Structure 1
């Protein structure tokens, strides 16, 4: 089974390792407000990602979501354990097996996803995605030449929720766009400024080559 792709959270989920005894626990995504309350005490930069980030950008609900995703930089990963103290944390090891993430263990590049739940055997509630940062620069794990200042990767909703900027989220969705990704692209495209469109078109072209979205972005 392929490794789950961070920032493209609807990709197939990793299979569970051993233990737990529940085999393949279901997802019951935590409500957005609950996630915001938990990570508000994290003491690090964090952003709502995935389809919820697109909805925060457009200001309305677009579709149901199978999970909820939070992005943090790799060097801030232990703040996740503090924010979700008392929860279970499971790291997705390549090529896609979950195993317990030990307290204070440092997850090195190659491990990008952590599944979290409040109690053993319960449904998964939050997915945390680890992305790379070098100094004050965010670096795409897919293409190290695609980068921008960390201060420029997020936005804040009118009610104060930090979220990943839509052009970055769409960059990750562009690799294998599914109908829901096309829906997200259509919804947010009219709201993208010239600079956002140019950045996204250039990033997609550099990483993926010719792509049907770039003509619309240009």
Structure 2
């Protein structure tokens, strides 16, 4: 969970299945992300989680209010100040995170992150040269939950990997096909030059 400046309260994240129920009528793609995406990819529990992340494409952001009707949605303004986000406001490009809870004083339940898209492709907000066709951004779990492709999730975790990111990488590595390993290795090379994960991706 990210530390922020102004009112934050506590986190009690919903489960991926509850996210799927809440977002089932969304007229746009969405994907469970973060550590839960890793667990959906490998098919078993890997570690504890302090929150749950969901990816939306930036042009689809206003659909979130319809999916979470009656909830509070707060935008995280850099460098980390929460402010209310109204149903008609289009967030500026500098805002990537939205925290959601059922009502005032309730725990935060879902963190939504806005990802970029350009010319029909997913584009990394950290490096516009790292991209993927929208059809290849996510996978579907056996119980029907959309989740971010593991190689994309690991790319996001690779910038400054924390112990939990290393845990997620090692848990995912045996499940990465040669094609997924190649994509991740090339993305790491493009964005970081060299990265400690690359040797293991080529084994």
User: What SS does the corresponding residue of 1:15 show, helix, strand or coil?
Assistant: coil
CA distance in 1, matches of 2:110, 2:32: 11
Does structure 1 residue 44 correspond to structure 2 residue 28? yes
**TM-score, normalising length from structure 1?**
0.90
Counterpart check, 1:110 vs 2:100? no
Distance 2:124 2:47 in 1: 26
Hey, what does 2:5 align to over in structure 1? 15
Give 3-state SS (helix, strand or coil) of 1:111's partner: coil
Alignment of 1:166-205 (within 5 A): 166-205=150-189
Matches within 5 A, 1:1-218: 10=1, 12-16=2-6, 23-218=7-202
CA distance 1:13–1:41, change in 2 (3 Å): farther
Q: Distance in 2 between matches of 1:59 and 1:135?
A: 33
Displacement after TM superposition at 1:35 (Å): 1.0
Shift of 1:104: 1.2
Q: How big is the alpha-carbon RMSD for the aligned residues of Structure 1 and Structure 2?
A: 1.0
Distance in 2, Cα, partners of 1:115 & 1:14: 11
- Separation (CA, whole Å) in 2 of partners of 1:90 and 1:137: 27
Unaligned runs of 5+ in 2: none
Displaced runs of 4 or more, over 6 A: none
For structure 1, which runs of at least 5 residues remain unmatched after alignment? 1-9, 17-22
Separation of aligned partners in 2, 1:129 and 1:80: 11
Partners of 1:52 and 1:97 in 2: how far apart?
A: 25
> How many angstroms apart in 1 are the aligned matches of 2:192 and 2:93?
22
1:153-177 per-residue CA deviation (whole Å, 9 max, x = no partner) reads 1000111110000000000101111
2:112 is paired with a residue whose SS is strand
Give the length in aligned residue pairs.
202
Shift of 1:24: 3.1
* Aligned residue in 2 for 1:4: none
TM-score by length of 2: 0.97
